[in-house]
Amino acid sequence: MNTSPPSTRQGTGQEQFLTILSREDALARFEAALFPRPAQTEKRVLSDTLGLALAEDVAASVDVPPFDRSNVDGFALRAADLAAASQARPVRLTLNAESIACGTVPQIPVLARTATPIATGGPLPRAPTRS
């Protein structure tokens, strides 16, 4: 079904937009544009890859950094302490005497109803262990 309706704008260079394709032809053209043939790949040493595109996922065998860290500046606190908080009923927390910076190991646990300032990249303090 490759028919074209008569064009009222002959010579305008837009006749290609008036061609009607079958569903199968349209789908084939769409998939050919959307899913091009796979690119050729080659193995390179890491130091020679600047400016190149990665052809497949690379997964690290170890976590880097080896700890959970803060993605933004803020406060480390316990989510349970804020569960009942709202604009009408704010919750007050006690500020811990420590500030966690990137590269600083937390020394004080974040206990219930406390908060610790933490910088981007700072290691998240662990919850205290129950005995």
Number of other residues whose CB lies within 10 A of the CB of residue 93:
18
**Where do the domains of the chain lie?**
67-126
Quote the pLDDT of residue 3.
55
pLDDT at 55: 86
Q: What is the pLDDT of residues 61-117, one digit of tens each?
A: 998 888 999 999 999 999 999 999 999 999 999 999 999 999 999 999 999 999 999
In 3D, which of 117, 103, 127 has the Cα closest to residue 75?
117
Give the residue with greater pLDDT, 113 vs 17: 113
Judge residue 37's burial from the number of C-beta atoms within 10 Å of its C-beta, 0-12 exposed, 13-18 middle, 19 or more buried: exposed
Nearest C-alpha neighbor of 111 from the set 91, 125, 92:
125
Are 53 and 38 contacting, i.e. CB atoms less than 8 angstroms apart? no
Predicted local distance difference test score (pLDDT) of residue 113: 95
Task: Please provide the CATH number assigned to the domain covering 67-126.
Answer: 2.170.190.11
Q: And the tokens for 100?
A: 């966690």
